[in-house]
Amino acid sequence: MADPLFVILVSGDPEGHDDGFARCAWLRVGELVAQFYRDRAKPGAVVKDDTVLRFVHFDCHSASTLIYEHDFATQKGVVADPAARHVQRNWATLDADFATAHGPLDAASDPKRFVDWRPVAAARAAASDHAVSIVNAYHTVRRAPRGSVLELSIFSHAFVDGPVLFNTSAGAGDRRDPDDTDGRAAVDFQPDMGEDGAANTHALEEFRLGFAPAGSFRVWGCNIQDIVETVRVPGSTSTERCLIMSTVRQVVDEAYTRQLRLGGTVAALLRDAKLPPGDTKVMLDMDRQFSHERELQSDPHAGHGFTPFPVARLFEIRYDEVSAGHAYHDLFRGERDSHHHFARTITRTLSDVVRFVAQETLPSYFFVAARALRTVTVVGGAPGTSAELDAAGQQIIGPARLDQARFFSKFFGVSITDPEAVVQRHYAFLDNQGDAVRTILDRAAHGLP
């Protein structure tokens, strides 16, 4: 029998505290089982006829660490409860009493020894309302047998800073706050992954080496909000962390989606398989975008988390303020009309737009992860995309935001096609050869030729 293989899953706790994301995790189990069984005879397949694949699940909803063992020799390519209607029945608790049902495991490969379940159990016993942390998943991959993790998938809400398990507050500086359960782009992919102590000196390298050569790290949520440090209350002099609509989403709506709908020369260039000339000019109606953002702030379904700024402030933040981690001012340049008001529409080149999107991508969680991990494929929503649940209940980049995904694919050479999947969900793949990372860095520096 081959060396043990693992898939690590994390499901966040949504606002309604239901098991929706836990269902997503089990649906992924069924999908991967079917996929691996279908491909078991292909050259290079890591899952064979006699493989036992172990799925570990950090379930925020139930505050539990769970495990499922799939024996391909007897269970073939199907799982019980394929529609994930009774997800808690499908898992066993992973604790000190766990014993594999499929042959002995050496100590290094025994999940109860390397999976970070003990802090979760302790937090649950203490009645914590956020017993699971993304750090538990990081620790587990770090301690797993080298090259054994086929996938780490996080099913949750997400934004530019990373996956949101419980929507905790970010700590100050570059250290991981023990009370912060969520992903943090600026913290998590440092050499020590934001944790002090000699045991964490090589944390990032341990994390990288835990993945199989074809392993992937997947974030299944949205990428639809920007973080800005700005004055929230009129008349105040203090700044705070605020959330606004993804400016990439708005700019791509104007420079790509709207141009395609209008037709004409620019639309023809955008539809061509070749990249259009960088000096191609497009008009951006930012008044339309910021007015729509203002409307969404009061929409309970679309505006969750947006800071309620008026339209004038949305212009001011983008046009006039120099925000750390953002390239707003480089694109908007404080432009005014003939009456010295914010220019409601501006004209920019496609090179300007592509450079802006690339620069806004650089601090995002999935890009920082891909750049740091190098040999691990990182998958996530392209900037400006939002995830929703499909008819089966799985997370997917929905039709309304496909143009943002297609723009990202076209101008950065990033695939939004999963070559192994039956159902395409249009997340962006930052490959394990570094090609996508290099292209994004080049576009951020130079735009389009």
Q: Do 407 and 256 form a contact (C-beta atoms < 8 A)?
A: yes
Give, for all 449 residues of the chain, the pLDDT tens digit. Answer: 578 999 999 999 987 788 999 999 999 999 999 999 999 999 999 999 999 999 999 999 999 999 999 999 999 999 999 999 999 999 999 999 999 999 889 999 999 999 999 999 999 999 999 999 999 999 999 999 999 999 999 999 999 999 999 999 988 889 999 999 999 999 999 999 999 999 999 999 999 999 999 999 999 999 999 999 999 988 888 999 999 999 999 999 999 999 999 999 999 999 999 999 999 999 999 999 999 999 998 876 654 579 999 999 999 999 999 988 999 999 999 999 999 999 999 999 999 999 999 999 999 999 999 999 999 999 999 999 999 999 999 999 988 889 999 999 999 999 999 999 999 999 999 999 999 999 999 999 999 98
Where are any strands of DSSP class E within 309-402?
Answer: 345-349, 377-380, 387-389, 395-397
For residues 76 and 82, give the distance between their C-alpha atoms in angstroms, rounded to a whole number: 14
Query: According to the model, what pLDDT value does residue 299 have?
Result: 73
Kind plus residue range of the DSSP H or E element containing 153: strand 149-155
Quickly tell me which residue has 């970010």 as its tokens. Answer: 170
Instruction: Encode 215-246: b = buried (16+ Cβ within 10 Å), e = exposed.
Output: bbbbbbbbbbbbbbebbeeeeeeeeeebbbbb
Non-local CB neighbours of 369 within 8 Å, separated by 6+ positions: 185, 188, 189, 217, 376, 378
Quickly tell me which residue has 């909000």 as its tokens. Answer: 225
Quickly tell me which residue has 């998943």 as its tokens. Answer: 137
For residues 356 and 336, give the distance between their C-alpha atoms in angstroms, rounded to a whole number: 20
Kind plus residue range of the DSSP H or E element containing 327: none
Quickly tell me which residue has 């905790």 as its tokens. Answer: 168
Q: Write the DSSP assignment of 184-228 as a string of letters.
A: -HHHHTSTTTT--SGGGTTHHHHHHHHEEEEEEEEE-S---EEEE
For residues 190 and 199, give the distance between their C-alpha atoms in angstroms, rounded to a whole number: 14
Tell me the pTM: 0.96
φ/ψ (deg, to 5) at 241: -75, 120
Greatest Cα pair distance in the chain? 78
Q: Supply the angle between the helices 350-361 and 435-446 in degrees, to the nearest 10.
A: 130
Report angle CA 192, 196, 202 to the nearest 5 degrees.
30
Query: According to the model, what pLDDT value does residue 181 have?
Result: 97
Q: Is 239 helix (H, G, I), strand (E, B) or coil?
A: strand
For residues 299 and 293, give the distance between their C-alpha atoms in angstroms, rounded to a whole number: 10
Q: Is 271 helix (H, G, I), strand (E, B) or coil?
A: helix
- Nearest Cα neighbor of 182 from 193, 195, 169 is 169
- Nearest Cα neighbor of 297 from 363, 371, 243 is 243
**CB-based burial of residue 303 (10 Å sphere; 0-12 exposed, 13-18 middle, 19+ buried)?**
middle
**CB-based burial of residue 180 (10 Å sphere; 0-12 exposed, 13-18 middle, 19+ buried)?**
buried
For residues 102 and 11, give the distance between their C-alpha atoms in angstroms, rounded to a whole number: 26
Quickly tell me which residue has 């209008």 as its tokens. Answer: 262
For residues 288 and 330, give the distance between their C-alpha atoms in angstroms, rounded to a whole number: 20
Non-local CB neighbours of 415 within 8 Å, separated by 6+ positions: 409, 428, 429, 431
Kind plus residue range of the DSSP H or E element containing 114: helix 111-114
Break the chain into its structural domains and give their ranges.
5-223+364-380, 226-357
Query: Which two tokens mark 385?
Result: 């995309």
φ/ψ (deg, to 5) at 183: -70, 145
Q: How many CB atoms lie within 10 A of CB 171?
A: 15
For residues 8 and 426, give the distance between their C-alpha atoms in angstroms, rounded to a whole number: 21
